[in-house]
Chains A and B, each alone.
Chain A
Amino acid sequence: MEFGPYLMLASLEGAVTTAVLSLTAVGLSLVFGVMRVVNVAHGEFFMLGAVLAWWIASAIGGMGGNPALGFVIALVLAPLVVGSIAAVADLTILSRIDYDPERTIVATIGLLYIMQQVTLMTYGPDARPVEAPFNARIALPWVEFADGRPQIYWPWGFGTTTYKLGVIVAAAIVLLGVWFVMARTRIGLIMRATQLDRDMALAFGIPVGRVYAFVFGLGAGLAALAAVLVVPIQQAHYLMGGDPLLLSFIVVIIGGLGSLPGTVLAALLIGMSDGIISVFFSPTLAKIIATLLVALVLVFRPQGLFGTRATR
C-alpha cells in the first residue's frame, strides 16, 4: 500500500483512539475540575466497565440472548454500576478525608489496588473479548492522479469496520451530551458554580457533598462507557486500566485541568498522534512523544492550553 492510504488508515485508528480517550479524559477532567481530586483510580473504573461489559454480555449470551442485546444492555448498565460504585467510594472514603489533596491521592491509589485485585480474584487473569453488535467491513476507495486525470481504485486491505465508525459517532454524541448538560442545564450550572467557588456554592444552598458524589460517579461512568465501547476492539483484562489512566492524565494536563473543551482538543491531538505514530513507528514512541509534550506544557504553560485557575 502506498503512503497516502496508509496515512488514512492510521488516521482512522487515531480517530477511534481519540473517541475513547476523549470520553475517559473528560471524566477525569470533570472530577479534577469540580472536586480538585486527582483520581488515580480512574483507569480502574475504565477496566471495571470493560469487565462488567464482558460479564453482562456473557450472561445474556449464556441465556441464549442476542449478543447485540447483551452489548446494548452492557452499554447502559456498566456505566451505571461503575458510577454508583464511584459515588459510594466518594461518600464513604473521599468525603471522610475532606478531599485533602494528598490524602485523596493515597486513597485513590488504594481504590486502584482494591478494584484490580478483586477483579483478578473474581474475573481472573485472562483477556476476554466482547462481541461487537455490528462489525461489517467497509472497503475504502483511494484517488490517484494518473495520466493527468484522477482515478479511483480500491487498495487491498484499505478499509475500516462499521463498529469503529460507530465508536467515533457514539463518543461524539456522548461528548455533545456532556457539553449540553454542563452548559445548558441546572445541574450543569450547579457543577460549574461548585467548581468555581466551593464555599460560595455552599453559601447559596448547593449541597456540595452530593454534587461531589454525583461528579465522581459521572466521571467514573464516562470512563466505564468508553471501556464498553472499546472492549469489542481491545478485550477486557484486569490490567487494562494503566494506559487509559496515563493517556487521560496526559490529555487533561495538556488541555488544562478542568477545561472540557481543552480536554477534547488535547484528546484529538494525542489520540491522532498516537494512532499515526503507532502505525508508522511504534506505540512506545507515541507514548514517549506524548509524555515529552506534557513536560513541555508543564514547563511553558503549567495551566495547560485552555486551563484556568479556580478559587477554592
Chain B
Amino acid sequence: MLEVRDISAAYGPVQVLRGVSFSLGAGEIMCLLGRNGAGKTTVMKCIMGLLPLSAGQITLGGIALDRLAAHEISRHGVGYVPQGRRLFSELTVAQNLEVGRLARRSGPEVLDHVLGIFPRLAERLDQRAETLSGGEQQMLAMARALCLEPRLLLLDEPTEGLQPSMIEAIRHVVLDVQAAGVAVLLVEQRVDAVLSVASRVTFVENGQSREAMDIEALRADRSALVRYLGVQ
C-alpha cells in the first residue's frame, strides 16, 4: 500500500536522507529502527509532505504523495501522530478532535467511535489540551489522527515519556487499529515495545535504509539490534 522508494531529503544544506526505501501493506505494523539522528522522523515528515524530497518517490495505493500539496495528503487517509504530540495546545480536547475531522469531513459517528476507544478524553472534552497529563496528551494525539479515519497511521515515538500502564494502553490501541486493517508505520526507541507489536522492522542508519527483517527473525537473532542500535 505504502511504497517509499529511494527517497532523499535535506534541511537546507544538511542532507539528512540519502536513499530510504521500504514498503508497507494494509493491516501491517512496520517499525523504523535506528539511532538518534538516523533520519526516522525525517522519513515521517517526508511522507506527510512537511519536508520536500530531493529525490525518490512516495506512493500510497498508487497515488504519488510526493506530488501533492502537504494539506492534501491527510485527505488520502494518512494520520500523523508526531514526536512530542504537537497538539493544538490552547484548543480544547473537543476542538483538537474537530481539527482531526476536518481533512476528510468525518461524521459525528467517527468522533463517537474514537471517544469509545479513549473514554478518558470523553470526560475532558472542554479541557484545554495543554492542561492534560502526558499520557492523556498522547491519547489525544492518537485520537486526533484516528478522527480522520486513516488507512495509514504514522506514529513517531508514541511511548516517549509515558508510564508503563499508559504504554500498555497505547499498545492495545495500536493492535486494535491494525486489526481494523490500518497500516501502521512506527518509529520507536523502546525495543521491547517494537517487538510486541510490529510485524516487520527496517533499520535506518545515517539517512539510509539498511536491513529489513520480519519480527520473528529479529526475535530469533538479535544481532541486528547490536549492529544498528548498540543494544541487545
Q: Which of A194-233 contact B (CB under 8 A)?
A: 196-197, 199-208
**Within the assembled complex, what's the spacing in Å between the Cα atoms of A193 and B144?**
13
Most B Cβ at <10 Å: residue of A192, A199, A208? A199
Most central of A186, A196, A201, A308 by chain B CB within 10 Å: A196
- In the bound assembly, the distance between CA atoms of A31 and B100 in angstroms comes to 24
Chain A residue contacts of B50, Cβ below 8 A: 199, 202-203
Min Cβ gap A206→B in Å is 6
Q: For chain B, residues 86 to 114, give those with C-beta under 8 angstroms from any C-beta of chain A.
A: 86, 88-91, 95, 98-100, 102-104
Please state if A203 and B80 are interface contacts (CB–CB under 8 Å).
yes
Question: When A204-B144, A308-B90 are in contact, do A193 and B99 touch as well, CB less than 8 Å?
Answer: yes
Q: Which residue of chain A is the closest to B48 with respect to CB atoms? A: A203
Main secondary structure of the interface of A (DSSP, over half): helix
**Number of residues from A at the complex interface, CB < 8 A:** 19
- Alpha-carbon gap, A204 to B82, bound state (A): 12
Residues of B within 8 A of A201 (CB): 71, 99
Instruction: Kindly state whether residue A189 has any CB partner on chain B within 8 Å.
Output: yes
Give the chain B neighbours of A192 by CB distance below 8 A.
Answer: 88, 90-91, 95
B125 to chain A, nearest CB (A): 14
Q: Which of B71, B86, B89, B91 contacts A189 (CB 8 A)?
A: B91
Are A196 and B102 in contact, with the CB atoms below 8 A?
A: no
Contact A205 B148 (CB under 8 A): yes
**Which residues of chain B from 38 to 68 have a CB within 8 Å of any chain A CB?**
48-50
| Residue pair B102, A206 in contact (C-beta under 8 Å) | yes
Is residue A311 contacting chain B, with contact meaning CB distance below 8 A?
Answer: yes
Residues of chain A contacted by B75 (CB below 8 angstroms): 205
Which of these, A196, A199, A207, contacts B91 with CB under 8 Å?
Answer: A196
Among B71, B90, B104, point to the contact of A206 (Cβ < 8 A).
B71
In the bound complex, CA of A256 to CA of B59 (Å): 44
Q: Are B90 and A202 in contact (CB under 8 A)?
A: no
A43 to B122, CA, bound (A): 46
| Interface residue ranges of A255-312 to B (CB < 8 Å) | 308, 311
Give the residues in chain A near B71, CB-CB below 8 Å: 201-202, 205-208
In the complex, the chain A residue whose C-beta lies closest to that of B72 is: A205
Within the complex, what minimum Cβ distance (angstroms) separates A195 from chain B? 9
Judging by beta carbons under 8 Å apart, are B144 and A202 in contact?
Answer: no
Q: How far is the CB of A212 from chain B (nearest CB, A)?
A: 12
User: What is the chain A residue whose CB lies nearest that of B96?
Assistant: A193
Is B70's beta carbon under 8 Å from chain A?
yes
Instruction: Give the interface size class of chain B.
Output: 20 to 34
Taking a contact as CB atoms closer than 8 A, the residue among B70, B89, B91 that contacts A203 in the complex is B70
B104 pairs with A205, CB closer than 8 A: yes
**In the assembled complex, A190 has its CB within 8 A of some CB on chain B:** yes
Distance in angstroms between the alpha carbons of A200 and B144 in the assembled complex: 11
Residues on the A chain within 8 Å of B100, using CB: 204
Q: Check: B8 CB closer than 8 A to any chain A CB.
A: no
Interface centre among B69, B71, B144 (most CB of A within 10 A): B71
Contact of B82 among A193, A203, A208, A308 (CB under 8 A): A203
Contact at B70–A204, with CB atoms within 8 Å?
A: no
Please tell me if B189 contacts chain A, counting CB pairs below 8 Å: no
User: In chain B, what residue has the closest Cβ to A207?
Assistant: B71
In this complex, what residue of B is CB-closest to A200?
B86
- Is B74 an interface position by the 8 A CB rule? yes
Flag A162-202 by CB within 8 Å of B: 1 or 0 each: 00000000000000000000000010011011001101111
Taking a contact as CB atoms closer than 8 A, the residue among A186, A196, A203 that contacts B90 in the complex is A196
Q: Which residues of B contact A202 (CB under 8 A)?
A: 48-50, 70-71
Which residues of chain B come closer than 8 Å to A204, judged between CB atoms?
Answer: 74, 80, 99-100, 102-103, 144, 148
Bound Cα distance from A206 to B48, whole angstroms: 13
Alpha-carbon distance between A73 and B170 when the two chains are bound, in angstroms = 58
B86 touching A197, Cβ below 8 Å: yes
Knowing A205-B103, A208-B71, say if A193 contacts B80 (CB, 8 Å). no
A189 engages B49 (CB within 8 Å): no
- How far apart sit A207 and B102, CA to CA, in the bound complex (Å)? 11
A205 CA to B105 CA, complexed, in Å: 10
Residues of B within 8 A of A189 (CB): 91, 95, 98-99
A-B contact pairs, 11 of them (CB 8 A): A186-B102, A189-B98, A192-B95, A193-B88, A197-B86, A197-B88, A202-B49, A202-B50, A203-B80, A205-B75, A308-B90
Q: A-B pairs with the 10 shortest C-beta distances? A: A205-B103, A202-B70, A205-B74, A196-B88, A207-B71, A203-B80, A193-B99, A202-B71, A193-B88, A200-B86
Chain A interface (Cβ < 8 Å from any Cβ of B) = 186, 189-190, 192-193, 196-197, 199-208, 308, 311
